[in-house]
Structure formats: structure tokens, C-alpha cells
Chain A
Amino acid sequence: MPVSFVPSAQELFRFSPEIVLSLGGTAIMIAESGMKDGSRARLAATAFFTLLAAAVLSVAVAGDPGPAFSNLLAVDGFSTFFRILVCAAGMLVVLISSNYLREHGHDSGEYYALILFSVAGQCLMATSNELIMLFIGLECSSIASYVLAGYLRDDKRNNEAALKYFLLGSFASAFFLYGVAWLWGASGTTNLSELRRLLLDPSSGVGGTMTAAATALLLVGLAFKVSAAPFQMWAPDVYQGAPAPVAAFLSVGPKAAAFAMFLRILMTTFLPIRERWGPVLWAVALATMVIGNFAALHQSNIKRLLAYSSIAHAGYILVALTAMSDTGAAASMFYLAAYTFMNIGAFAVVTWVAGRDERHVELMDFAGLSRRSPVMAAVLSIFLLSLTGVPLTAGFFGKFYIFKAALDSDLVWLAVLGLLNSAVAAYYYLRIIVMMYMHEPSTGAQPLPAPAAGIRLALAASVAGTFLLGVAPSLVLDYATASAPLLR
């Protein structure tokens, strides 16, 4: 195939979601400078519709799958799934952010631009078929996220969160990049499909110690990004310190994209040497579940609790990855979709209760919420029960498919321990429900404002998603099942 450096129209089309997101972000930044204070609500709307356009384009592009830019990108069912997922997560986050930002006097365009850039990076992570491209996507997403974590720059906790996230995150990126460099040294290529071919071919000489070491370096970087043990320490501090809507974003968007990368690298490339990293992944998955769940038991700050819970959920998804099968990949995709709805939903309620300057983020602040606002308490309970994995909610089928995939691959102990872990998790989710329903409001509790329209919309969408995936999981699972084999 002759290499052309002028991209064809088809290639540009395949890249269009990322283009739209980048252009939208840039446009917001330019437009903001000439804007009066009163019309800032339009910025949020612009961001929302840019994300919507990107999601729609992702669907349109899926009709014409194939590689782009000399095989740097691969548009397939898998990438489409994650593109839509991260765009949807972005939309939900924009919805819950606008009121929060206005309350804190930081309703500026940068925020939305950063979200768009971060989502663009995540889309790239989902689509790349090449290690350098993956790294670029990862950095796009991460750098925007570092800034978002410290967005309220006068707030000490925000600054702390951003700094921690930045230092540890760049360290992890460096690990990843170092792994890429070693792989390139060992094989002479950074293309994932090409690497797989070399690994399958014993005469190529690739697959020795150096490749194993490079794989380890890549795994360290990826484990950090998905907050897997033993690289999970950053998550609680960052989620606690960052603005609540940003914490919602960090717990879903970058994580989903990082899992997309994780899946693509493991399933596309390193499947031939799975006996090397399989046991490592097994231990990492178990440790992540155990650390996340047991640490969450003792938290009194709700954001920190949800941070540990999101670590535990990363552990469940890692169980699906450990299964190393198409069903495992499909299960993790389904789980991420379910997780997006229920976790953003939970964070949306937390954002609302937290109020101005996030003064109400202790578990005690949720005491008697069912009396102060029955609807919001019921909605949060739905998300928490879904996170617990109670049937008729999305979380249940998520767990079901994951542990089924694990049992399919004869990981009996991992499945049993994982399921018992989810029984442990029930305890801390129940603590919140207990607070809301079985305690009276504290005497000093002020009346809660009516939730803003954005939060209401985000909650309605999340509740609908949680129930829809809990009653008719085939809607998403069939698609995931069909696109998982494309990884290979």
C-alpha cells in the first residue's frame, strides 16, 4: 500500500468525532472572550451539543468501519462503543456542572473546553491502533483532567488534588511511554496488530524478556490510569479534593477510555503471551477489589467513599479482563456502560447535596435526606442499589456478566471471591441508605434548594439508563458481544 501523507476524505470522516470535539472546544474558548456574563449558559449548551454531535458522528462513522491514517486508527465496533460512551459521560457531566460552576463563581468557558479536549483524547484512546497514538490520546485526556481537578484555583483542596494527580499521573504516563520505547526497541514497531503478528511468530524473536519487561511497564501505566492496586492511592485524594462534578467525570470518562486501551492492548497484542501477565492480572484484580471495598467500609466522607467504591469497580472490570475472552471483553464493556450511568448519577446527587463550597460532603450530611427530599433520596438509593448489584438494575447484570465470563474461563476462585467482595460492598452502600432513610436530619440542617434543571435532566437520564440496562441488558450486551471479537 503506498503511503500517502495527505489524508483522504474517508480518513478524515473516520476521525470526525475527534475533530468536532477539538473544534468545539477551541470555538468555546474563542467565543468566551467576547461574551457578556449573562450569556454564559450558552457555553454549557454549546459543549453539550458538541458532545452530542460527536456521539452522533461516531454512530455515523460506524457505518464505514476501517483503518485511517496509515493504520494509526481503527474504527470498529469496539471503538464506536467507547466513543459513544465517553461522549455520553461528557454530556452527563456537563449537565451536572453548569449550576455548580455558577454557584462557585467559576462559570467560564475553559471548563467546558477542557471537558471537550479531555473527551477528544478519550475518543482517541478508544480508536487508536498504535501505541504512540494511544499515548497522545492518553496525554490529551490526562492533561485536561489535571487542570479540571484543580479547577477552583482558590480552593486549597482543589490545588492539592490537581498537584497529586498531575505528579502521579505524569509518572505513570512516563512508565507507559518507557514501555512503548522498550517494545519498539524489541520489535521495531509500535503498531498493535503488527506486534501481535510478531508475537505469534516464534521465529521473529520478539517475546523474550525484553518484551515481558516492556509489558510490565505498560501494565503499570495502565493500572495507574484505571486506579488498580497497587497504584490506586491517588484516587481517593483526587476525588475528594476535586470539584464534585469533576470527580464524577474522572471516575467515569478517563477510566472507561483507559479500560478501552487496556482491552485493546491486552486482547489485540498481548494475547499470545497471556500466560506471562495472566497471573499478574489475576492478583491485581483481586487486590483492587479487596482494597477498594475494605477501605470504603471506614470512610466518612462521601466523595472518598465513592472513590474507594470506584476502585472496587475497577477491580470487578479487571476480573473480566483476567478472563481473557470475548465474553470477558463484552462483559467489561457492558459494565462500563452500566457504571457510567450509576456512578455519574450518584455523583450528581452528591454534587447537589454538597452545595456551595462543598460544605456537605460528610456521610452525616445525608442523614434524613429521605425527609428533606424524598425523590432525591430515592434516586440515590437506586444508584447505590445498582452499585451493590441488586437485580433489575444495570449493576446487577454488569456483575453477572463479569462473573459469568470469569467462570467461563475457569476462574472459579476469582469469581467466588469477587462475589463475596460485592457482598462486603453492600455494607458501605447500605450505610448511605441507612443515613438517608433511618436517621433523622440533624437539627442544624438547612433546607435544600430545588435541584437545577441540568441535574434533574442528568438524573432522569441516569435512572432511565440504570433501569433500562437492568431490565433489557441485551440492548447493550448484544452490541458489545458483536464488537468484542473485533479486537483480535
Chain B
Amino acid sequence: MSLLDILLLIPAAGALIALVLPKDNPGLIRKFTLFVSTLAFLLSLGLIGPTGANAGRYSFETNTVWIEYPAIRYHVGVDGLSLWLIILSTFLTPICVLVSWKHIEDRVKEFHVFLLFLLFGVVGVFVALDLFLFFVFWEVSLVPMYFLIGIWGHDRRIYAAVKFFLYTMAGSALMLTAMIWIYNRAGTFDLPLLLDMLRTGQLSFTASEGFWLFLAFFIAFAIKVPLFPLHTWLPDAHGEAPTAGSVMLASVLLKLGTYGLVRISLPLFPGPAHDNAPWIIALAIAGIIYGALVAMVQPNMKRLVAYSSVSHLGFVVLGIFTFTQVGLDGAVYQMLNHGISTGALFILVGLLYERRHSLEIADYGGVGTVAPWLSSAFVITSLASVGLPLLNNFVGEFLVLQGAAQARFLYAALAGTGVILSAVYMLWLVQRAFYGPTPEPVRHHITDMNPREWALVLPLLVMMVWMGVGPQSFLPAISEQNRQVLELVSGSPAQQKSAQEVAHAR
């Protein structure tokens, strides 16, 4: 049993144990969940060394039969692409437990069971190397999130939860069809094996087949990302979810979509990915600008941050489909950055909500005078989010824009406006909420951060700075993996040629 298996087992076993803990002792359940998720986080740190040393290959691989026929394998492994996303998930889960410490008082046990189960699902998606296993975890991660939004969310939580579930289900229906189709062609769901077969020409897709398969996967991933115009579930889900739900949703669940694009869509369908890149990039840029413009006019803080996610994730998709090393590196790095900074924004908004019980920006003002530390944290996070140099988002956005410029300068020019717009909506939010006159309710209700709140905000602030000034701690493993993906993608013309030759020979 490798470290990775244990990492999968811990949240699952933790959820089952939490299920039988006495429900009238919420303190015990909170502490237990905190312990389990912290344990998972510490163990996940153990992945870094060996994975970094083994760059370009899968580490901690386990490959055994799950179901004989159809051949479904329990094949998991970690590489430079998934490594940091796994750690991001385990890093944020204890923070989510802490942020819910006072906030969640109703059905505490269920909440924490779902949170651990969610961790199990998302880590599973990131480690799965078998398409079928990937799908299983993909769906498994959906259920706890649905309950988190639906039970502990705000007023319109039910609508948001159902919308979230149905959107994802519709996407995954298409993805499952495509997976079965691939299986029928190749006889395996195993991703590395499929890539080998593609490389050696044992498996090749005709142009139209490749297009439809690519599209089926792409729609499923694009819904999750979410790519404009499939994003409409996101503001609802984010706006209504409890703080921990928003954090996990924004920081981890959205990454499942972009991760899928890099892990599956690009390597398996390099040709169609190239052919369809122009309109995908167009949608990504539309999302960057549209998300930013809509964020600007939101009266509700959470919805503002949610729309900013649409904009930020547009950068990620743009970076992926530039097919350049810097663009892809930036995209993957930006996934992590967005996880940290948007997670932090949701947490800080959640802290404000716990005090003032309102998400309307108009209900705030002058918070800086009554809660200076909270305001400072918010300002730093906002600056990180708008891409200030020395903070994390700057590195990612810079790399993406550089990649976009390499692909076509127009892309970079258009996407660059998104950076400017993000400064407008974030700083305007900061100005309205934290400066200016302090209304009486704000003065009355808002207090500064307590030690527990420091404990959950500080690690995120540290990460923002670290990832801003020391990207070299993270990028090499990512770059190596991306180089391989790009090799596959750029190797595709040769592959197509060999497929044609095979056809000629027949």
C-alpha cells in the first residue's frame, strides 16, 4: 500500500468513523475531522520529495484490477501536474473545518462527514490514472458538494444545489459515453496505456470521431471549469454555499475541470484540441472579460468573487490552449493561485458575514477602522487576486499572458484587459467595504480576527507571498510534466501522418 493509497483511505475511513461518533458531541466531531484532515495534509507533504525526484513519471503508482470485465483498473499515481493540486485539496480541508468551527452549528456531524467524503472524491480525481476510476471519483465528489450547498447554504440554496448537480450530471453523461466509446476501440480505460497505444499507432481516431470524443470530454470539463457560456451555475452555487462549501468549490472543484483538460483532453486528442483551440480561446477571453464586467456590478460580495472566478478560470483555459510551455505552466500555476487567493477571499467574506449577517456590499463601509487586521488581510488577498507583483497571481497571469502572446499577440492584448478590469472590481469592493464612513451596524457588529481566524487566514497569506516570490519551489515539477504533455500535443501531426499511412497501406 503506497502513501497515495493511504492518502485516499484516510478521508474515506475518517468519514465512516465520523459517521458513528455521537452526534450530540459536536466538539468531538470537529476535533476529529480537524485531526483527520490535518493528518491527510501532513501525509500529502510526503509526496513532494519523491515526486519531484521522479519528474516526468508517475510516482506512488498502484495498478491492480478492480473489475475483470470490462477491464477497470484501480490505477493511481501522482506526477508534477497532480501533486500540487492534491496538496492544495488537503491543505484547504483543515482550513475549511476551522472556518466552520462556529459558523456551522446545525447537523455538525453530517457536515463533517460530507467534507471528508469530498476530500476523498477530489483526491481520487487527481490521482486516478484510469479513465473509469476518474469518472467514478468525479461523480463521487459531486454528491457531498450537493449536500454541503443544499443543507448549509443561504436562502436560495436548494435551487443552487440542484442546478449544480444537474449541470454536472449532464456533462458527465456525455463524458461517460465518450469513455465507453474509447474503451470499445481500445479495450482499456487505462490512461497511460491509451497514450502508449496512440503513440505507437495501435489506436487512432478518425477526424470526426476525434472531434466528437474531444467535444464530449470538453463539454463535461468546460461545465466544471466553468467556461463561458456554461458558467451560469457557478454564481448561484457560490453565492448560496456556506463558506467552507464556497472555498472547496472555488479552490478545488473548479480545478477538476481544468485538470481534466490537461490530463485527458490534450494528451488523448491533440489533433482536435489544436483544431478547436481558436473558438475555445475566444470563449476563454470572452469569459475573462465578461466575468470581470459582471463582477464589477455585483451588489453581493460572494457573487462578486464568484464572477471573478469565471474571469480567472478563463485565464487558465487560455493558457492551456496556447500550447506553449509558458502558457501551460502559467495555467497550472494559476490553478493553484486561484485556489489560494479565491479561497482566502471566500473565507474573509465568510468572516464578515458571520459578524454582520449580510453579503450586500452596501451594508458595509469603513470596516478598516473597526477591524484593521481583518481589513489588511482582505486588502492583501485582493491585491494578490488582481495580480500585484510579488504575490502569487502575478506569476500565473504573467506566464499565461506570455504564452498567449507567443501564440498570437491579440490574445494577450484582449486577455490583458481582464487584469485591468480585475483591479477595478476588486479595489472598488475594497474601497466601498473597508474605507469611507463607518455605519452604526458595522461599528457595532464587526470585530477583528480572533486567534482561530488568524490560524486559518495566515497560512493562506503566507502561501500567497511564497508563491509570489518563490515560484521555483513549485514550477519545476509542473514544467516537466507540461513538457511531456506538449510533446504529445506537438507530436500529433506525425501521428496523424502515420495513421494516414496505415490507411493508405490498407
Residues of A at the B interface (CB closer than 8 Å) are 370, 374, 385, 388, 390-392, 396, 400, 403-404, 407-408, 412, 415-416, 419-420, 422-423, 426-427, 430, 433-434, 437-438, 472-474, 477-478, 481
Contact = CB atoms under 8 A, between A and B. Distances in A.
Given A385-B143, A403-B180, A392 B136 contact: yes
B162 A427 contact: yes
A473 B72 CA distance: 11
Contact of A473 (B67, B137, B184): B67
Contacts of B69: 474, 477-478, 481
Contact of B165 (A374, A404, A416, A426): A426
Nearest to B162: A430
Contact of B177 (A370, A419, A472): A419
Nearest to A415: B177
B158 interface: yes
A423 B170 contact: yes
A474 B169 CA distance: 25
A390 B140 contact: yes
B135 interface: yes
B501 interface: no
B268 to A, nearest CB: 17
B174 A419 contact: yes
Interface string B127-154: 0000000011101101100110011000
A248 to B, nearest CB: 25
Nearest to A408: B184
A225 B60 CA distance: 53
Contact of A407 (B143, B158, B165, B184): B184
A298 to B, nearest CB: 15
B157 interface: yes
A432 B181 CA distance: 33
Interface in B87-124: 107, 110
Could you tell me the dominant secondary structure of chain A's interface residues?
A: helix
A400 B184 CA distance: 13
A390 B141 CA distance: 10
A422 B100 CA distance: 34
Contacts of B136: 391-392, 396
A437 B169 contact: no
Given A404-B180, A438-B157, 9 more contacts: A385-B143, A390-B140, A407-B181, A407-B184, A422-B169, A423-B173, A434-B150, A437-B151, A481-B69
Nearest to B132: A400
Nearest to A429: B165
A438 B173 contact: no
Contacts of A437: 147, 150-151
Interface of B: 23, 67-70, 107, 110, 135-137, 139-140, 142-143, 146-147, 150-151, 157-158, 161-162, 165-166, 169-170, 173-174, 176-177, 180-181, 183-184
Contacts of B150: 433-434, 437-438
Contacts of A396: 136, 139
A407 B166 contact: no
B180 A426 contact: no
B219 to A, nearest CB: 12
Contact of A478 (B68, B137, B147, B181): B68
11 contacts: A391-B135, A391-B139, A392-B136, A400-B180, A403-B177, A419-B176, A420-B170, A434-B162, A437-B151, A438-B158, A481-B69
Nearest 6 pairs of A and B residues by beta carbon: A419-B173, A391-B136, A423-B169, A423-B170, A391-B139, A438-B150
B162 A404 contact: no
A434 B184 contact: no
A423 B171 CA distance: 9
B198 to A, nearest CB: 20
Contacts of B184: 404, 407-408
A407 B177 contact: yes
A403 B176 CA distance: 9
Contacts of A403: 176-177, 180
Contacts of B170: 420, 423
B169 A426 contact: yes
Contacts of A404: 70, 180, 183-184
Contacts of B23: 374
Nearest to A477: B69
Given A403-B176, A420-B173, A423-B166, A438 B151 contact: yes
A420 B142 CA distance: 17
Nearest to B169: A423
A472 B68 CA distance: 10
Given A403-B177, A407-B177, A437-B151, A390 B139 contact: yes
Nearest to A430: B162
Given A392-B140, A404-B183, A426 B67 contact: no
A6 B15 CA distance: 62
Contact of B67 (A374, A420, A423, A474): A474
A257 B249 CA distance: 45
Nearest to B23: A374
Nearest to B133: A391
A206 to B, nearest CB: 35
B180 A407 contact: yes
A392 B139 CA distance: 9
A434 B166 CA distance: 13
Contacts of A473: 67
Contacts of A370: 107, 110
Contacts of A426: 165-166, 169
A474 B181 contact: no
A422 B177 contact: no
Contacts of A438: 150-151, 157-158, 161
Nearest to A431: B162
Contacts of B166: 423, 426-427, 430
- Indicate the member of B69, B140, B157, B181 with the most A CB atoms within 10 Å: B69
A396 B169 CA distance: 12
A434 B161 contact: yes
B349 to A, nearest CB: 23
A335 B143 CA distance: 22
A416 B177 contact: yes
A422 B139 CA distance: 14
A423 B162 CA distance: 11
Contacts of B107: 370
Contacts of A422: 169, 173
Most buried by A among B139, B142, B181: B139
Contacts of B137: 391
A422 to B, nearest CB: 7
A437 B170 CA distance: 23
B61 to A, nearest CB: 22
A263 B151 CA distance: 44
B174 A474 contact: no
Nearest to B212: A412
Contacts of A412: 177, 181
A433 B137 CA distance: 21
Nearest to A403: B180
B110 to A, nearest CB: 8
B165 A430 contact: yes
Nearest to B157: A438
Contacts of B169: 388, 422-423, 426
A398 B140 CA distance: 16
B29 to A, nearest CB: 14
A391 B151 contact: no
Contacts of A416: 173-174, 177
A469 B476 CA distance: 43
A391 B130 CA distance: 15
A394 to B, nearest CB: 13
A390 B176 contact: no
A188 to B, nearest CB: 41
A91 to B, nearest CB: 27
Q: Which of B110, B165, B174: most chain A CB closer than 10 A? A: B165
Nearest to A419: B173
Contacts of A385: 143
Given A390-B139, A423-B169, A423-B170, A400 B67 contact: no
A336 B181 CA distance: 24
